[in-house]
Structure 1
């Protein structure tokens, strides 16, 4: 393929021919990369010519006009979401205006000529995402940003659980808090608990069953065998060890919980056929359909495969006949292991029940947002989703980020991308299903790497990330659907828009009502001055940090830079020195901003290099954050406790135990702490005053 025709093919497939590097200079994408990505992508022309695209999206009051690419007269019929039918005839090649009134939702347009039919999904969406009444009224709310697995308590089994989440909601509501922001709760890998990154899930439609609060499972409590096991000295010793570790021992926790829950499952099965719980479980299975069935089958099968020595990599490491959910080997296994599949479905049901209970509790407490969930940007290659639906994902590519100053080879996240052409061919149903699953039982959804609605950096398999290219996604359509589902589920949307953000998406997100994320460390003007609290945009959530960045104390003490040097993150000593000097300037600029905003007493030190992080300085930063104009404010318990150790160090795999570091104190101690209560009281007072 010649370069000009190659470029045309790449552009037609949505592959960008250039990107802007860290210095703002355009970099050309190599022909080899274009060819490699075209080879792994679904050919948009493969399905054959149709008079209309498989799906069209109209937002707001935009004129709803279509032009079928066909000759002659054709008949049309429009079936609305609520069952109303419109019909008529039209002339191909001429503009056709959809009938009105046509309400928001998902409608089906059918064109017919003779015996031939063509179908187009018509989606009518609002322009903006949902906003809770309290925020529409101009109120400013705050909440806690919590990595649930880090939570310690006197009753959990070595990892934060849904019982702890309910306690968190109650304690925060009593102190004026409005929400708990959570890490992704997506299903991971019960067969390999140590593969614990919530951002490399097995499925984004189902929950991580490790968060089940076993003490709330009635069938476990009623199981005599289960209670005998639980009360044994051996179990209690293992339980205490899991609780007392400073880092989550995922293998130990999962082993304890699965053992307990298998006892509970045996008790559940003994219930009568007309038992109400059994009826509810049967309805859950029916509603979950194939997605739930094959998630459960995958969890059970992965345990069996690893028992036979298969690697954690999941289905790619399995024998050939087992690498797809519809293979005869898998179907035979499912038929022979119906009880095992039902067990894993039951665990999903328990998790969903407990999480729903947390949401109901937040609403009973009068919280406006209550819970916000986090949607990861993709799933892992060896996931249940790719196993069950490999056509949707491009398994010979992965997503990541282009090269920048700190990462000259770019980033490869190891997550296969959804093919935008397949997504469109399916009327965006996979995207809709994911939104509905993650907008359930919460008042807000955070979308990780929200720029993925516009574009993703694709890296061909076997290549380093600098050999990738941006692939476009239908951003206007996706934002419209996001707004529709947001309004229908009454769930506001927060976009994680940190890092390299293309200019074209900033206004699109703002106009769609998607909240921006404003992290204190990054809110510096060109001259280095920190943005004043009153200049934060109202349509945003403010925070001091995130799970990928240093804690407040870690930032001030440069603990993150010391750790990075220790584990070899930086190429040379000069890089470390440059980062340390930059940090010193940031600290001074932040201290200046605190003084200017009146967040610190006038008598306080003016020079950052002579000031350690103290309880008073910690309170001052929180006062500054509380005064921001952002409608939402997210605070991290790590910062209330003065913790330094990070929960995640981006760019590391084996160098650092990511996703394991627990909070320094259990919930019972945190909310009994005088300094913590003083801090939260101050935040509540200042948020209400603003």
Structure 2
């Protein structure tokens, strides 16, 4: 904590520390930065803490001390298996209390009584009531799972969640002693003749099976498939969804829904008519038009939804709804309300409150549309399961690797349904770094650490479970956000935020527990600015990191020798926030940022640095004998992948864009409408579209795969 000053008084610093708000940080350039006092006040306000005056700060500090004494049990207890922590239990001074744990059904159920320790703590007067503290010990042999702690006695009943997590997420045998490689794809960009203008889950199954069978790849990493707006315009970014728990029905293959095959001739014609206007979009070299695709698919899906289902299919649908519970029902209700009130219009004030009388009436009035939106998730779940089965049947050892975005749209389904556990008037992002020197604001409301704990981490758990249902692995975008997030109060620049700390033991532990139960590998995208100990912590918990060739430098700023890469990591040449490698070598990242006015240094300085970086990399490749004099673009791209393969990394990822010679970036950070982010269809170096049918016939892809398989 920095020294107190007139601008940052000691009491404000103490209050910030009590709620995990960090008043200083180290910039990417090595300089020590202090957070503006006004930012601290606004961030604390988003946490429900009043720091608007010295007097209010004193009151808030007193509340921070007393709050634990107001609760009989902690809001939640998350521990590693084998740990035996002490638990404070607060009751009226002098009251007896009994504490026990009921084990969850997955662990076989049962009751475990806790023993009280002989540990006296001086009682405390809180809100005019004398409160005593009894201390109990959790037994060290609790099984993994989501258990419930109970307290009973004259002071009344209380309960809280007890989550027992693995000490470490164990890797599959193949990764303990060997390695795996796979492709990385932006699914919407890889289209087939059967998809309706955007890559879909049918394409996913096809690509995964072919990649495993023809190329010997072990996984296919795809962009987040989280749901976007149900009514256009649809946000193109897969990293700005309305919810992270449920799937975007844009990716559905209408023809693969069983009921489609049994439609009447008239209804089948309706489906075909819906498809006709968008099928030709698959040959359009321009930006992908999600709104047109979704409009066509929604019309067709309405027809299929109305078709009768067999008794078994209906029972399966109902079982899915029951399993997904209130989370699915709330999401479907929000979608139905979005349909009713339309896009770009103001909802009635009451509609923004899920508990309002208007919303409760809507549950009945919109019941059929709620059924429709629940059904879409059911058929999406079925197609996701089919894609993972196709991947494994094609020979993949891991299969589909799903991607989890950092957060959600501030006006989306999660913000509506989970408002109690998300901060308002705040966006998350990142402070300035080498590639984004103005900082980034992703405009997503973050979890409130305190509220998430009070909810027993159930919203977080439910989200993970849904994403992991049909995943062989999961990539956590900006995994550092499970330790701390850069909170930016609304109305201030991205570089004027502050870090807020999270209970990483709880968040990482729950992630390990849910991944272990799903049998999935976890990869954390641990790039950017972070504290040095974080990577060691993730490694200790069995979570792989991320190594991108262009970001791996030694102390002199030259390319890090591949032998010095981390073992527990997904190593790649590029990432979706850079142009494909062919474009990067051609300085597309410089030209694009200059065009869009994103440079903070003169263009000649940035271009000189890019050319020096490329020259240094080519020299390093030549020294290892990976390229000869005057290599072609294809030879350099293959050599860069062979460089990464020379590392000990357990996972190696290969971008499909690199494999076919694409040069255009999928995303330019720091832009919105200035560039067609997340809309670029897959093409080769000449700009010719590459569909699923041609993908594995590409001479360039086959050459790269041969190089990879030789060096494995």
Q: Which residue of 1 aligns with 2:667?
A: 648
The number of equivalent residue pairs is: 664
Describe the shift of the 1:89–1:588 C-alpha distance in structure 2 as closer, same or farther (beyond 3 A). closer
Residue in structure 2 matching 1:283, options 312, 319, 333: 319
CA distance in 2, matches of 1:180, 1:673: 18
Higher relative contact order, structure no. (Cα contacts within 8 Å, ≥ 6 residues apart): 1
2:225 is the alignment partner of 1:200: no
SS at match of 1:435: helix
- Cα separation, 2, equivalents of 1:47 and 1:648: 45
CA-CA distance at 1:235 after TM superposition: 4.9
Corresponding residue of 1:132: 172
User: Alpha-carbon deviation of 1:400?
Assistant: 1.3
Following superposition of structure 1 onto structure 2, how do residues 476-625 of structure 1 map, counting pairs within 5 Å?
Answer: 476-571=505-600, 574=602, 576-600=603-627, 604-605=628-629, 611=630, 613-625=632-644
**Distance (Å, rounded) in 2 between the aligned partners of 1:88 and 1:584:** 65
1:414 aligns with 2:443: yes
Structure 2 distance, partners of 1:146, 1:591, is 26
Structure 1 residues 148-190: Cα deviation after superposition (integer angstroms, max 9, x where no partner)? 0000212211111111111111111121101100111111112
Partner of 1:167: 206
Alignment of 1:116-515 (within 5 A): 116-136=156-176, 138-174=177-213, 175-223=215-263, 224-232=265-273, 235-267=275-307, 270-271=308-309, 275-306=311-342, 310=345, 317-404=346-433, 407=436, 409-515=438-544
How far apart are residue 568 of structure 1 and its match? 1.8
Question: Which whole-Å CA distance do the structure 1 matches of 2:536 and 2:324 have between them?
Answer: 37
**Does 2:44 match 1:8?**
no
1:531 counterpart SS class: coil
User: Is 1:74 aligned to 2:113, yes or no?
Assistant: no
Instruction: Give yes or no for contact 2:114–2:139 (8 Å, CA) kept in 1.
Output: no
Deviation string 1:98-154 (CA, Å, 9 cap, x unpaired) is 235322222222233314233232222212123122112x12111010110000212
Distance 2:633 2:38 in 1: 55
1:59 paired with 2:70, answer no
**Aligned-residue CA RMSD in angstroms?**
2.2
Contact 1:107–1:121, Cα closer than 8 Å, also in 2: yes
**For the residues of structure 2 that align with 1:47 and 1:390, how far apart are their CA atoms?**
23
Alpha-carbon contact 1:242-1:252 (below 8 Å) kept: no
CA contact (8 A) 1:130 1:493 kept: no
Distance 1:625 1:276 in 2: 49
Q: Kindly tell me: are residues 613 and 229 of structure 1, through their superposed partners in 2, closer, same or farther at Cα, counting changes over 3 Å?
A: farther
In structure 2, the residue matched to 1:30 is 36
Whole-angstrom CA distance in 1 between matches of 2:574 and 2:433: 21
- Counterpart-to-counterpart distance in 1, 2:698 and 2:544: 32
Deviation readout 1:640-667 (Å, 9 max, x if unpaired): 1111111100000111010100111112
What is the rounded CA distance, in whole Å, between the counterparts of 1:405 and 1:684 in structure 2? 34
CA distance in 1, matches of 2:347, 2:272: 38
For residue 86 of structure 1, the aligned residue among 112, 118, 127 is: 112
Aligned-partner SS, 1:325: coil
SS at the partner of 1:663?
coil
Name the CA distance, whole Å, in 2 between partners of 1:25 and 1:53.
Answer: 39
Q: Provide the residue aligned with 1:313 in structure 2.
A: none
Matched, 1:19 2:20: no
1:556–1:612 Cα contact (<8 Å) kept: no
| Residues in 2 aligned to 1:598 and 1:483: alpha-carbon distance in whole angstroms | 41
**Alpha carbons of 1:498 and 1:613: their partners in 2 closer, same or farther (altered >3 Å)?**
farther
- For normalisation by structure 2, the TM-score amounts to 0.89
Task: Work out whether residues 520 and 543 of structure 1, in 8 Å CA contact, stay in contact via their aligned partners in 2.
Answer: yes
CA distance in 2: counterparts of 1:405 and 1:550, whole angstroms = 16
2:222, 2:403 within 8 Å by CA — same for their partners in 1? yes
Structure 1 pair 241/159, CA: closer, same or farther in 2 (3 Å)? closer
Q: 1:422 to 1:583 in 2, by over 3 A?
A: same
Q: Matched residues in 2 for 1:49 and 1:371: separation? A: 46
- In the alignment, what sits opposite 1:113? 153
